[in-house]
Chains A and B, each alone.
Chain A
């Protein structure tokens, strides 16, 4: 097997000796590839199982909302057994029951509680609610999820995305939008920085200067940077990558092949040698070759560059070689290739997403719901005032919240103490 031959063994450019080597067997991977395609792993977000999972999550959310959240968060007003609720207090007051009820309502209203009175089986109950509106916080949060799902579904149904690369000085028509994009110039900036661990080549900037002709037919100039996409007719174009296109001088027994020599290959492109089953793959560009070792360095700036070429015979990989610019490589059968000139190309992504506003609204609603749920504590006081004897009443008070009892225990203690204190003086009531 010759696959995986190290660059060091091939630093002298000559692939001819590899042409008849044993090919690499890739057929064993075919079932995996078929499985990936059948399961739609090549396009996950449009696959039935992915959409199915999202659907199940939404169904679960809906069932949970209506079966659990609404009954638990929005309970009806109903009588309770006061002393069976963990937060409860009972005390007696020297006053008539109606006056105690009136005074309780006044006291709690003054503290921001909303008072409602109901009659159950001849017994008058008072219900005091605080932050009652916040009981809907979870519903708001769940609604946010649904809106986000609607936004992403809109993208799924109507949006599109893709990517393309343009070589400096050339023009490309974007498949989905039909916009024409010409790359006027591409530049990158890399700063070599000596850190405590050694030299680091930090990329600082990637800039594409483009001329774009959109639906209006007018060519406009733009600058595209990372974090600064451009918007053309509602589609956003992003700076995604860059690379080095390469022009080769391809000769057969010394005669230049004009067709192959005129092409600009991007990294990953290949060409076939006419009359043979051999292909040459332009694997990648090596910007800087160490002059002493002849090996690529970590420096991404162009200084003594080379290219990595791969060769294959009838689809079977034969090997690869590091070929400095200007040097020839013998491919056998009279074919020779010289990496002649590099040219920068810029890679772009584009995306048209009509669901963005909905997703934004959904995110805001979701956050609002979370904040309402976490930072407001809806609580309900159940108040029952019974006349024990004329002029003497017993007050029973209990409290529930949507987050259990412990979180409200201290506050209930303070409320109960305040009620006791305020109602304790008969003069204050009558």
Chain B
């Protein structure tokens, strides 16, 4: 049985991310250079397949493909990988690719479970704002995913170095930890990822408010999605403010980034799936 082009492209992306994640996860622990030459092209191929899939889906259905959880999660994973690829090339960070690709594969596989075929959009989603607000917000989530991954690596390195300090049998672990970028370097990477995500989510909230004004007559109605987005925004704003304080920069701000991403996941998936409101667009 032949698959439609968009489903085939999603399958390609899913396979590419899974294999790429495996290659780069092994690279993370072994530092065998040729694994990057396997993982990086797979990441790029999967990402390209996803963007092509979104275009194909739009061209064949003439329905903006981001209006349900399947479509928005698809863009979320594609943007996560795209932002990571940009970071990886700019700052030589392929060692972290396994985590990003693994998360992308998990989210994409989860997206597929929400695929229900093509649906016309409900009236409130029939707006040019859908082409502005949704990609911006989803891209901010993607940037926060990248920040989350590097925050976790920061925390692994921080606590790992403390636990192996002066313990000889763990010298191999210590050498492996030392091969990671320094803690300040990891902190700067997290900061740069958040510095992409925070303006995007700010624009996303503002464009969302403008859309809400047009559709529902009010900028803000304390809908669960709005409240959760504001909460996440405040967490990342706190991150930025705390990052200016020397005592908070690094360990504490990494924890804030982790908490921020958990709040993003709640805002994105928790609100859409579990809580009914104005943003309960699942299928």
Contact = CB atoms under 8 A, between A and B. Distances in A.
Interface residues on A, range: 35 or more
Interface string B220-257: 00000000000000000000100110100100000000
A196 B119 contact: no
Interface string B199-226: 1001100100100011111110000000
A206 B195 contact: no
Contacts of A195: 116-117, 119, 283
Interface in A331-346: none
B218 A227 contact: no
Contacts of B203: 367
A161 interface: yes
A394 B246 CA distance: 30
Contacts of A226: 123-124, 126, 215
B122 interface: yes
Contacts of B117: 193, 195-196
Interface in A320-357: 349-351, 356
Contacts of B191: 403, 407
B12 interface: no
Interface in A226-259: 226-227, 229, 236, 238-240
Interface residues of B, number: 37
Contacts of A203: 122-123
Nearest to B196: A374
Nearest to A72: B244
A204 B217 contact: no
A389 B269 CA distance: 69
Interface string A84-100: 00000000000000000
B126 to A, nearest CB: 6
Contact of B199 (A72, A349, A367): A367
**B interface majority secondary structure:** helix
B66 to A, nearest CB: 16
Contact of A227 (B115, B120, B127, B219): B127
The residue among A226, A366, A373, A375 with the most chain B CB atoms within 10 A of its own CB is A226
B60 to A, nearest CB: 16
Interface string A189-208: 00101011100101111100
A15 to B, nearest CB: 31
B243 A367 contact: no
Contacts of A161: 217-218
Interface string B117-136: 10111111011010000000
Contacts of B126: 205, 226-227
A375 B127 contact: no
B123 A363 contact: no
A197 B217 CA distance: 33
B218 A191 contact: no
A225 B215 CA distance: 9
Given A236-B217, A367-B199, A370-B199, A193 B119 contact: yes
Given A227-B215, A367-B203, A407 B116 contact: no
A371 interface: yes
B229 to A, nearest CB: 15
B198 A374 contact: yes
A191 B120 contact: yes
A18 interface: no
Contact of B116 (A191, A197, A239, A371): A197
B222 to A, nearest CB: 8
Q: Among A356, A370, A374, find the residue whose CB has the most chain B CB atoms closer than 10 A.
A: A374
A225 B123 CA distance: 8
B202 A367 contact: yes
Considering residues B198, B244, B246, which has the most beta carbons from chain A within 10 angstroms of its beta carbon? B244
B63 to A, nearest CB: 11
Contacts of B244: 72, 402-404
Given A363-B206, A406-B187, A204 B120 contact: yes
A196 B116 contact: yes
A187 to B, nearest CB: 12
B122 A350 contact: no
B197 to A, nearest CB: 10
Contacts of A202: 119-120, 122
Nearest to B216: A238
A152 B103 CA distance: 40
Given A203-B123, A225-B123, A406-B185, A349 B216 contact: yes
B232 to A, nearest CB: 15
Given A229-B217, A363-B206, A367-B202, A374 B195 contact: yes
A196 B127 CA distance: 26
Nearest to B120: A204
A403 B243 contact: yes
A359 interface: yes
B278 to A, nearest CB: 12
B184 interface: yes
Nearest to A402: B244
A58 interface: no
A16 interface: no
A371 B199 contact: yes
B69 to A, nearest CB: 13
28 contacts: A161-B217, A161-B218, A195-B117, A195-B119, A202-B122, A203-B122, A204-B120, A204-B121, A205-B126, A225-B123, A226-B123, A226-B126, A226-B215, A227-B124, A227-B127, A227-B215, A236-B217, A238-B215, A351-B217, A367-B206, A370-B199, A374-B198, A375-B195, A402-B244, A403-B243, A404-B249, A406-B184, A406-B185
Interface of A: 72, 161, 191, 193, 195-197, 200, 202-206, 225-227, 229, 236, 238-240, 349-351, 356, 359, 363, 366-367, 370-371, 373-375, 402-404, 406-407, 409
Given A349-B217, A366-B206, 11 more contacts: A161-B217, A193-B120, A195-B117, A202-B120, A356-B213, A367-B203, A404-B243, A404-B249, A406-B184, A406-B185, A409-B184
Chain A to chain B: the 7 pairs with minimum beta-carbon distance, closest first: A226-B123, A406-B184, A195-B116, A374-B195, A227-B127, A238-B217, A349-B217
